[in-house]
Amino acid sequence: MVEPAAVQAALRRALRAGGDFADCFIERRRSLLVSMEDSRVERVLSGIEQGAGVRVISGQTTAFAYTDEVTEGSLLRAAENAASAARAGASGEVVELGEPRDHSRQTVRIAPDAVDTARKVDLLRRADQVARDAGDAIRQVAAGYSDGVQSILVADSEGRLAHDRRTRIRFFVQTVAARGNEVQSGYVAPGRTTGFEFFDGTVVDQTAAAAAARALLLLGADPAPAGVMPVVIGNEFGGVLFHEASGHGLEADAVAKHASVFAGRIGEVVASPLVTAVDDGTVEGGWGTLGIDDEGTPAQRTVLIEDGVLTGYMFDRLRSRQDGSAPTGNGRRQSYQHLPAPRMTNTFILAGTSTVEELIEATAHGLYAKALGSGQVNPVTGDFVFAVTEGYLIENGRVGRPVRGATLVGNGPAVLQRIDMIAGDLGLAAGTCGKEGQMVAVAVGQPHLRISELTVGGTRLSGGVQM
């Protein structure tokens, strides 16, 4: 990282032609990926990336330039390019930078880059063996390990100088099971912001066993029913439905463009009174946890929906300036080559007071969507289609036969209104969120919850489903 005096000079250069605000984002990222397929190590990829981006904001206009060299000269050149693009007129003001503040909130006991790669390969070999031992029908196993350490420095014309360090570990296992002409797969991929101590417990065995069990389960599953019925959705990655179908509509850029069904509805009832949803970048170990966002704003907990009432949006600095609101720590970017935008961190529905058993018992006939997979969402309307990767019929208030090929079809805001029971088993899951060509680490989550009425797409008509 360069000296603060060099950053100060770059900010002055950025505002030489005028502007309301300028900032500088400096990043250094080290990453490692190790993957295994069919019991053979296929890839070991490691690298270091660094660079800096300089932004100038003038009214509604933003100018941006970046460099992959972190030197005083390269910062000044990037600032000059941003200033030339801004063409703002009157000279802007730069406040003297304060003392650097370290906002890193992680406690890393075992730095991943201090662990030999051979030990990481051993984790993959162990996962491969556990998955294959689950049954003779397991034909293929792929496993992967990744770690990354990102250090950022953010400085701006208002005097902010802040640092954050983020260490993330992720592990995945994908299995393929086959019997006759039928082929099914299972995939599990836990991750946390933590050090190599992530593997102190049984995470490798649990991940491999769960991926294998899911593939084997689907081999013997019945075709899923189709129709409108009550649906119980599992915890952890079940929260992807809220993230995709509602969460993006609560990001301030979508609201400002009126590309959200939640625009202009603060204070209105938008969900069941059982629903309280938050975005919280401070969760211990959360995949989307930050000390500061990528604009230097401290991470925080933002209540989006409280007891069914819309209470807030997620803001970056630009949209907060335009709206007259405070930034919420949601200004995020994929790298120094990208502009920040309002993005989720760890976004989830809070725990309720019911038990999972009570949700099932209250459902005479329906679907238990224990795990969700990929989906498609219209971000403007909230209409969605999600695949169910592990599902069961609910028959007479009990979990019954496994089913395959189920999809959930509906509208995010409408589904929020139909949540009639929420369990107390809140869990978070790691994911990667794409928006406007940028990918960032996020966590999604929820407890088990019940939706009183939802369209299930399947491969056979349900006929006798009662609601």
pLDDT for 302-329, tens place per residue?
999 999 999 999 999 999 999 999 999 9
Q: Is 19 left (phi over 0), alpha (psi -120 to 50) or beta?
A: left
What is the pLDDT confidence band of residue 123, given thresholds at 50, 70 and 90?
very high
Bridge partners, 388 (sequence order): 372
302 part of a folded domain? yes
Q: Note whether residue 467 is domain-resident.
A: no
User: What pLDDT is attached to residue 465?
Assistant: 21
User: What range does the domain containing 62 cover?
Assistant: 4-219
Q: Let me know whether 69 and 182 are in one domain.
A: yes
* Burial class of 102 by CB neighbour count within 10 A (0 to 12, 13 to 18, 19+): exposed
Residue with tokens 């007891």: 307
Same-domain check for residues 105 and 40: yes
Helix (H, G, I), strand (E, B) or coil at 351: coil
**pLDDT mean across residues, the chain:** 94
Last residue of a domain, one of 219, 251, 273: 219
In a domain, 60, yes or no: yes
Round to whole Å and give the CA distance between 14 and 391.
55
Task: Judge if 241 and 349 occupy the same domain.
Answer: yes
| Residue 162 and residue 259 in one domain | no
Q: How far is CA 435 from each of CA 214, 242, 292, 338, 361, rounded to the nearest angstrom?
A: 30, 16, 20, 12, 39
Residue 89, pLDDT score:
62
**pLDDT band, residue 94 (cuts 50/70/90):** confident
Domain endpoint, select from 198, 219, 240: 219
317, with CB counted inside 10 A (0-12, 13-18, 19+), is: buried
pLDDT tens digits, one per residue of 149-164: 999 999 999 999 999 9
- 439 located within any domain: yes
The candidate with the shortest Cα–Cα distance to 190, out of 427, 435, 438, is: 427
Q: For 340-366, what is each residue's pLDDT tens digit?
A: 999 999 999 999 999 999 999 999 999
403-447 tens-digit pLDDT: 999 999 999 999 999 999 999 999 999 999 999 999 999 999 999
Residue 317: inside a domain, yes or no?
Answer: yes
Residue 385 shares a structural domain with residue 443? yes
Which residues, other chains included, contact 439 with Cβ-Cβ below 8 Å and sequence gap of 6+? 334, 432, 433
Q: What is the pLDDT of residues 96-108, one digit of tens each?
A: 888 888 899 888 9
Q: What is the pLDDT of residues 11-34, one digit of tens each?
A: 999 998 888 999 999 999 999 999
Quote the number of domains for the chain. 2
Q: Please say whether the beta carbons of 412 and 249 come within 8 A.
A: yes
What does the pLDDT read at residue 39?
95
Q: Burial level of 401, CB count in 10 A (0-12/13-18/19+)?
A: exposed
Is residue 137 domain-shared with residue 256, that is, in the same domain? no
pLDDT at 166 over 90: yes
**Residue 466: inside a domain:** no
For residue 125, is pLDDT > 70?
Answer: yes
Residues 277 and 425 in one domain: yes
Same domain assignment for residues 214 and 107: yes
How many CB atoms neighbour CB 68 within 10 A? 11
Number of helices (H) and strands (E) in the chain: give both, helices first. Answer: 9, 25
Say if CB 224 and CB 405 are below 8 A apart. yes
Decide if 25 is inside a domain: yes
Same domain, yes or no: 278 and 368: yes
324: left (phi over 0), alpha (psi -120 to 50) or beta: left
CATH of the domain at 184: 3.30.2290.10
Q: Among 204, 219, 234, identify where a domain stops.
A: 219
C-alpha separations of 29 from 147, 153, 379 in Å: 11, 12, 31
Percent of the chain with pLDDT over 90: 87
For residues 412 and 328, membership in a common domain is answered with: yes
- Say yes or no: 175 and 256 in one domain: no
Do 200 and 258 fall into the same domain? Answer: no
- Please report, as a single letter, which amino acid is at residue 99: E
What burial letters (b/e) apply to 272-297, b meaning 16+ CB within 10 Å? bebbbbbbbbbbeebbbbbbbbbbbb
Burial profile 351-363: b = 16 or more Cβ within 10 angstroms, e = fewer: bbebebeebbebb
